[in-house]
Structure 1
């Protein structure tokens, strides 16, 4: 697949080897905030490792992770690239590869802050607001990343060909009533001490089901995704509440949207075997009720046996996720159409050839001489 990444506003792109074998990363310098210098990190397959056996579909995917998370799902890149799609992932500011020692993990005061991260990444992909390209763009977000990208897509109509949401955090776990009860206190605390820490309710059950250092399948680096998670800040949670309220009012996204959810949730209060095949982070019923508020063309797929990140589920469940995502992709986005063959020229009419010959003096008159010939009749 072709590489059209050339420059961003910060200068020439400099890709360096990533922590994931066969991948590389590029640091996006962002506007400094109250905590000092800020960066985001773009990750892609190394160019010398990119597969060349699949026709280029003319589509780019940008993936954004969830809370306390980072990009490590190389099998997700494999899936998209098997469709001929060019895949990139973005570690947002203060997450994963982008988190610096002087920063409060995940801290922002508004979800619109991430517009800068997304735009910087899209500029590298060749999808800046003023870019001229025949490539189409699909955004994919997980959990908090799904909420961020839903809002971004609504605020930037016409920029994307499709939006894929993997267990998006469209509603709080206690739903609208609980959110409205909690929000006044959270907002007050956010005004007084926005970077103070709330109670951490992560008991480690989710990481137990996914990390291969416990009982899961996946190699998750605790430097980038700590086992005990992070303690959320009131400034960040107030921003989440505002984003979820915006979803409740309706986003009006015009591009087709695919939402992938588990079929069931298990409250993370005590360990149970059901946690291996359900969402232990979000309330899928509350999320599903918000899905129609995203836009006019929305496909909801609830996958039996899926975890919170549906792409980290058991192999047979992942097969369902890949099948449904591919079906949506081919139905709503699709591969780049093959160029139309040049039509065969119609044969030239005989009279045109005669006219050309007559005009150039290389042929007879274009029409037969219809004048009567005058003959001498010796009998007359």
Structure 2
């Protein structure tokens, strides 16, 4: 493993960093959301690891994660970046990799350009971490499938043009019955609920998805019947590294602000960074950041070598999400009262960090995967 970056990789990171600094600090309506997506698509952020012939940049996992890290370091709106990364890794990637060539060519270029907003719809009220418990049904009728069910917490749902929907052919088959489908928003029988109000990631719209006798052509199936669990697991490997890379960049951005504050804020006639309680807290922030970053790079490196890397990916996801929460708490403590009020934006990092311990597989699920790899 090389610990240096090539000139091309450095240019990619610096380009992402510079571009991200020009993005808005907050996106709260559909019009501004779509404008931001169009800009992300023009830059290439919505197709980082998608093949060039489908409108992407064709980057390896490590290079894609490094670019997303730059976006997270430069842009304070992690909600927007979360939506963009979910659009890429959980919607565009599985369609590009497993749909028929005709379906991929029809859908993926529009996702890469930002013309279409994509969403992944798998979570249900009774099927969160347990994918095999899906109740949404897909019934084959001739050259069509009929979908019935309700999906919870669909990121990008309120604005999405197309959904990567997972349903079961037969609940008795458990995870072996799960199958993926491309469902366009204008299909009769599809309805999106009202957007939820959330603790953080405020620029990322999220809602329930209702499917009531929704008919789609059989050609909209992604992969073979029963392959959905494998496809979803693969997309989660992409998401747990590529998407979480934004929080590595975010931790770097917050650390820089904390160091500056510890140097400039004076109490008892000296900078607060000269007090061991503060300097050690900042050192711990650096420790968590660099540990998470190296685990991320190692997981991506292993994936680029063709390894399954389940434990490596879980370790990276766990380190980033838990580290982001702890670093945000430390930043608030060091800033004191100024960190608690919204004006400086320090508390926002905590609100945006907490969801990382839940989405893309909870911290508890990551620990299960690590323990399983150890033979426990």
> TM-score under structure 2 normalisation?
0.25
Larger Rg: 1
- Greater share of helix residues, 1 or 2? 2
